[in-house]
Structure 1
Amino acid sequence: MRIVVLGGMGFLGRNLVNRLVETGKHEITVFDRTIPQRDTDCPSNVSYAQGSFRSGYDFEELVSGADLVIHLVSTSVPGNEKGTLDEIYGNVIPSVELFDACAAQHVGRVVFMSSGGTVYGSSSRPNKETDLPNPINTYGLQKVMIEQALRYASRSSDLEYQVIRLSNPYGPGQNPHGTLGLITKLVYQALNHETINIFGDGSVVRDFIFIDDAIQAVLDVIKSGETNATYNVGRGIGTSVADVVRTISTTLPENIHLEHKPGRKVDVPYSVLDIEKYKSIASIHDFVSLDEGIIRTYQYFKEYRQ
């Protein structure tokens, strides 16, 4: 297949592209703001297109001849999202133009990486794909709007789609200084004896998934999942921030320095995914446990300090 990965230089994108490269079967184009500067950094079956994800970009040229387009780009992150209009201009409108270009160029399928942690909003139980979205921040709102735009593009053309609502991936290769990646950030801070700052009392519950499992699950959906369908991808297990800190404290040989900050209104108190639909096609039998994921992340940072 010819595969175009938008956002292929990010945490998810790099890991996904590496796994696709390992198969040796695909011709891959990576689109992102920054690309490798030396030819020696580029696998032979990967080409790079440098550009900004914005309205007016020539998406038709980018996706021409593609069998599969994987849309991982977001110009904002939870907790640091923009106002509603900025999110629409920055994420929704370019996505609509991308989907229109895919339909015009007869791309076979578009896979969109949505957000399992924000589209459902507040809940007291694991969310199923059939639950109505109810985002409480503009990041989740733009994800829902893009999902709907993709479904509309599919209904009005021969374009197929898959929406993946991913929970909270973490692990080696994630930027510990960025906004995303709570576990990665906390492990890095513990290793470097930095003060760990927690918003609220630590009772916020999330569904954390190790990066290797997240990428395998994405590949499972692409390979074996239904088309024109939505899949939750996570571990399906809720863990509070306080439990993450305790696990880091008991698992790693580091002293933890902890401070609490006021809670944020944009943080959903409970966000866990029901992954029974994914399990019906899963090649993963045992997800990486929280303890093991923390240890692997710690070992990575000990070897490659950032």
Structure 2
Amino acid sequence: MKTLVLGGSGFIGSALNALLLESIDTDVVVFDASQPRSFPDDARVRFVKGFFDSGTDFDQLTKGVDVVIHLVSTSVPGTEQDALREMNRNVIPSIALFEAAVANGVRRIVFMSSGGTVYGKGDGNGTPNAETDPLRPMNTYGFQKVMIENALRFVCRNSATEYQIIRLSNPYGPGQNPHGPLGLITKLVYQTLHHEQVTIYGDGSVTRDFIYIDDAVQGIIDILRHGNANDTYNLGTGVGVSVRDVVETIQRELPERMLLTHQPGRPVDVPVSVLDVGKYRAISTIARFVPLDEGIRRTARFFEGH
């Protein structure tokens, strides 16, 4: 078996590569713009350098591949691009990838969507979002994820290639870039340990579904191995945690004093985004998700050791 991981040098991809080798009898091809610093020392892993764009030779890349895991996005929430730019940089290359995979007889394509953005404000009452809820993205990041989901379904229709769509919540933990635009918990832990200014937008009531990185990648493996073909799964803990709760837990778990400042709330921040993960829990091998306080301690230990 051969698995192609696009975006395999990133935060999720790096953690997923190791677990793929441990959990599944497969060779792994990692496609990304740069090789990960913690690249597995394993003869079953091969790195292919390249940029995810319309000029990529996806036909050659997907030849002989059984499973494609698409983790790539050239944008992130909070760094808004116009819709046409998102189409050119994310949607069109994804369609080219899917068409090449189907033409080459790839058995399954797994696409990493975004549980935190595709549902938008949901019902406005904070009810956890289920896979069957309407998709109403509020930013172009969510917009492109919805379009790629639909493109995958369309390209795989009437073919032998199966698909799975995973709507991941908010992963955090060791290996995430604390200087990037994503990863609130990782960023706040790092800033607190290094006595840097911590900025909170609004009153701290914004609520998210945070999932520790080990649980996130195990969830991907669970869905790949035990999930239904041609189906969509939310992947998170199903528990809402406010920014205020995160701040209070960090202050309780770390000896360093947090240098906290507040800024006005941002209109792009959905007040509450929590996933209904009942469908995933039915196939999950995780008996207990890593709780917030433990995840914060693990993340702090990682930064202290690196």
Alignment partner, residue 142 of structure 2: 140
Alignment partner, residue 68 of structure 1: 67
- Whether 2:287 is the aligned partner of 1:288: answer no
Correspondence 1:150-229 to 2 at 5 A: 150-229=152-231
Alignment partner, residue 17 of structure 1: 17
Percentage of identical aligned residues: 57
Alpha-carbon distance, 1:262 to partner: 2.2
Q: Which runs of 5+ in 2 are unaligned?
A: none
Tell me which stretches of 4 or more aligned residues in structure 1 moved more than 6 Å.
none
- Whether 2:300 is the aligned partner of 1:298: answer yes
Describe the shift of the 1:144–1:254 C-alpha distance in structure 2 as closer, same or farther (beyond 3 A): same
Contact 1:36–1:42 under 8 Å retained in 2? no
Alignment partner, residue 232 of structure 1: 234
SS in 2 for 1:30: strand
Measured in 2, the distance between the counterparts of 1:97 and 1:259 equals 45
SS in 1 for 2:156: helix
Measured in 1, the distance between the counterparts of 2:80 and 2:6 equals 20
Alignment partner, residue 43 of structure 1: 42
Alpha-carbon distance, 1:93 to partner: 0.3
Alpha-carbon distance, 1:43 to partner: 1.9
Correspondence 1:103-114 to 2 at 5 A: 103-114=102-113
Residue-pair matches, total:
303
Alpha-carbon distance, 1:41 to partner: 6.1
Measured in 2, the distance between the counterparts of 1:207 and 1:264 equals 19
SS in 2 for 1:248: helix
2:204 counterpart letter in structure 1:
G
Q: Which runs of 5+ in 1 are unaligned?
A: none
SS in 2 for 1:165: strand
Contact 1:69–1:110 under 8 Å retained in 2? yes
Alignment partner, residue 126 of structure 1: 128
What is the TM-score normalised by the length of structure 1? 0.96
Alpha-carbon distance, 1:208 to partner: 0.1
SS in 2 for 1:47: strand
Describe the shift of the 1:128–1:41 C-alpha distance in structure 2 as closer, same or farther (beyond 3 A): closer
SS in 1 for 2:113: strand
The answer to which of 258-267 and 130-139 deviates more is 258-267
Contact 1:153–1:159 under 8 Å retained in 2? no
Deviations 1:276-301 (A, max 9, x none): 00010000011000000000000111
Deviations 1:146-202 (A, max 9, x none): 000000011142210000000000001111111110000000001011110012221
What is the TM-score normalised by the length of structure 2? 0.96
Deviations 1:199-235 (A, max 9, x none): 2221110000000000111100000000000000000
Correspondence 1:73-112 to 2 at 5 A: 73-112=72-111
1:50 counterpart letter in structure 2:
K
Measured in 2, the distance between the counterparts of 1:173 and 1:186 equals 14
Measured in 2, the distance between the counterparts of 1:265 and 1:142 equals 19
Measured in 1, the distance between the counterparts of 2:53 and 2:253 equals 43
SS in 1 for 2:138: coil
Deviations 1:237-289 (A, max 9, x none): 00111110011011111111111122222211110000000010000011000
Measured in 1, the distance between the counterparts of 2:42 and 2:143 equals 36
SS in 2 for 1:291: helix
Measured in 2, the distance between the counterparts of 1:297 and 1:127 equals 28
Alpha-carbon distance, 1:56 to partner: 2.4
Alignment partner, residue 33 of structure 1: 33
2:182 counterpart letter in structure 1:
L
Describe the shift of the 1:132–1:28 C-alpha distance in structure 2 as closer, same or farther (beyond 3 A): same
Alpha-carbon distance, 1:81 to partner: 2.8
